[in-house]
Amino acid sequence: MASGTLDTLPKDLRKEIEHLERLFTVDGAKLKEVTNHFVNELEKGLSVQGGSIPMNPTWVMSFPDGNETGTYLALDMGGTNLRVCQVTLTETKSEFDIIQSKYRMPEELKTGDAEELWEYIADCLMQFIETHHGDPTKLDALPLGFTFSYPATQHYIDEGVLQRWTKGFDIAGVEGHNVVPMFEAALKRRGVPIKLTALINDTTGTLIASAYTDPKMRIGCIFGTGCNAAYMENCGSIPKLAHMNLPPDMPMAINCEWGAFDNEHKVLPRTPYDVIIDKDSPRPGQQSFEKMVAGLYLGEIFRLVLVDLHDNHETHIFPGQDIAKLRKAYSLDSSFLSLIEEDPFENLSETFELFQTKLGLTPTGPELELIRRTAELIGTRAARLSACGVAAISKKKGYKECHVGADGSVFNKYPNFKARGAQALREILDWPEKADPKEDDPIEILAAEDGSGVGAALIAALTMQRIKQGNMHGILHPENFRTVEPLVA
């Protein structure tokens, strides 16, 4: 918002905006402080003692080089859909073909019986195979990469012990158990010719899929409903794996689960609104970073600010109006803020209509200016803090130049998120000003390839490749891999 616009506002509203600017603005010095603490916390997560950030080894032990070939299946189990993909890595370097089908995840299955869930998934896979390959009894077992994006402990690439359900799932008898035998038992009962080769997290998939098409990729990130990152570490820098005597220079993809950064509240610039979000959340004291940057929370921070300005300040915004709809927790998501920030009109007429239709409120002109500035402040803070994580991995690994593959609704759809993140990286890493505005930044955050589909298939390919080369680290059932071959492209 131009300062000229601020000058024309009534004094009380101007005071409120200035107060919000002090609360939500994160300057370059603070970004550097957050980044340095982030580097230490990444290190701590890799140590034997561990820390807030889990830093999970994934047993994905190389980047693709673009020459991988063969046809692999990928299964992506999301909250709303089940996606089955057949990915063919072609003879042409870094190219792939993909066939995919989506199947709705019935709501009743999400709180039903574990066996029913796995049988439904097996049925969908069988349907896909019959459609694309004909008679399943005539097929050898096909290799599958399974994107299971729920918090899971992995001591092997072909296992995953579910820590807790998220995304609306709550099925008894699965938490604390390895999901792979349950899945494989359902495949066996249905006669589905598939062998699970790798269980992966979507963030690790994003890293690997992006690296397949772009050799400069070093980090994969998700900025969506939640937030996360993955990168490639050397086994010698992972003290918690020292007992396995892995070669120190052997690579290992790490799924950071960095939403848990600063759960101790040492460095993140939390506002009273962030404190309320944490206190009222299902898991107070957890996922502190995520609660300040992820799409799930941005609309809620905004809503809390507006309710506070109506209830508790001298400037009672929306006076004499019923704010019942605005009082409903989590009724506004990040797309609501996107629409406000995208409003192209000087008089913010689209924002006015949005408030009337969604919330039954009629904001004045000055209130619209306050609304717009509040959205900008929250969106900008999220982008700038997100950049601290990217900068921390880059500093830890000594990356001076690289590409970062990012996916997720906030990265792809939130206005100015990319530009604000890039500006923050420039401030944290002290890059000189560009001579030419078209010049690339040393570390560029770019749109990622499909991590949960192509990434899962590639990880299945890389796992089979390393087993053939005799690298059996992190494989629970080597015998399963003797009978599995990719279809020839």
Asked if the model's pLDDT at residue 73 lies above 80, the reply is yes
Helix runs in 257-364, H state only: 272-279, 290-293, 295-311, 334-342, 349-354
Average pLDDT of the chain is 93
- In sign, the C-alpha dihedral spanning 158, 48, 152, 389 is negative
Reported as a single tens digit per residue, the pLDDT across 116-129 is 999 999 999 999 99
Query: Which pLDDT score is estimated for 390?
Result: 98
DSSP class of residue 488 equals P
Reported as a single tens digit per residue, the pLDDT across 321-362 is 999 999 999 999 999 999 999 999 999 999 999 999 999 999
Asked if the model's pLDDT at residue 371 lies above 80, the reply is yes
pLDDT band at 413; cut points 50, 70, 90: very high
Reported as a single tens digit per residue, the pLDDT across 259-295 is 999 999 999 999 999 999 999 988 899 999 999 999 9
CB 261 within 8 A of CB 293: no
Q: Six-digit token pair at 119?
A: 């049988």
Query: Which pLDDT score is estimated for 485?
Result: 64
Reported as a single tens digit per residue, the pLDDT across 6-22 is 667 888 899 999 999 99
Higher local confidence (pLDDT), 140 or 386:
386
CA distance 57 to 43: 13
Helix runs in 56-201, H state only: 114-133, 179-190
Average of per-residue pLDDT across 206-224? 95
Reported as a single tens digit per residue, the pLDDT across 161-209 is 998 887 778 899 999 999 999 999 999 999 999 999 999 999 999 999 9
Query: Which pLDDT score is estimated for 449?
Result: 85
DSSP class of residue 49 equals S
State the residue for tokens 């969908």: 124
CA distance 441 to 340: 29
Average of per-residue pLDDT across 432-454? 90
Asked if the model's pLDDT at residue 486 lies above 70, the reply is no
CA dist list (Å): 125 to 121, 180, 215, 351: 6, 15, 32, 45
DSSP class of residue 61 equals -
pLDDT band at 479; cut points 50, 70, 90: confident
CA distance 271 to 276: 9
H/E element, 396: helix 365-397
Torsion of CA 137, 118, 257, 408, to 10 degrees: 80
H/E element, 192: none
Angle at 232 between CA 65 and CA 167, to 5 degrees: 105
CA distance 54 to 46: 8
Query: Which pLDDT score is estimated for 489?
Result: 45
**Secondary-structure percent of the chain, ordered helix, strand, coil, rounded to 5:** 45, 15, 40
DSSP class of residue 244 equals G
Rg over alpha carbons for the chain, rounded to the nearest Å, is: 24
Reported as a single tens digit per residue, the pLDDT across 43-58 is 999 999 999 999 999 9
Amino acid present at 108: E
Asked if the model's pLDDT at residue 1 lies above 80, the reply is no
Average of per-residue pLDDT across 235-264? 95
CB 351 within 8 A of CB 372: yes
Burial degree of 179 (CB within 10 A; 0-12, 13-18, 19+)? buried
Beta-bridged to residue 195, according to DSSP, are 143
Query: Which pLDDT score is estimated for 391?
Result: 98
Query: Which pLDDT score is estimated for 118?
Result: 97
CA distance 73 to 457: 6
Asked if the model's pLDDT at residue 5 lies above 80, the reply is no
Amino acid present at 339: L
CA distance 45 to 136: 44
Q: 86-90, 147-151, 359-363 — which is least confidently predicted?
A: 147-151
Average of per-residue pLDDT across 243-249? 94
Q: How many CB atoms lie within 10 A of CB 11?
A: 8
Question: Annotated active-site positions, please?
Answer: 149, 164, 202
Closest CA to 76 of 464, 455, 487: 455
Query: Which pLDDT score is estimated for 165?
Result: 85
Average of per-residue pLDDT across 81-97? 92
pLDDT band at 136; cut points 50, 70, 90: confident
State the residue for tokens 């209130």: 367
Query: Which pLDDT score is estimated for 161?
Result: 93
Average of per-residue pLDDT across 246-260? 95
Query: Which pLDDT score is estimated for 316?
Result: 86
Query: Which pLDDT score is estimated for 19?
Result: 96
Average of per-residue pLDDT across 453-464? 93
Asked if the model's pLDDT at residue 375 lies above 90, the reply is yes
Closest CA to 143 of 489, 488, 481: 481
CA distance 131 to 99: 11
Asked if the model's pLDDT at residue 484 lies above 80, the reply is no
**In 79-91, which positions are buried (b, 16+ CB within 10 angstroms) versus exposed (e)?**
eeebbbbbbbbee
| Crossing angle for the helix pair 417-429 and 365-397, to the nearest 10 degrees | 50
pLDDT band at 2; cut points 50, 70, 90: very low
CA distance 107 to 105: 6
State the residue for tokens 């799924």: 255
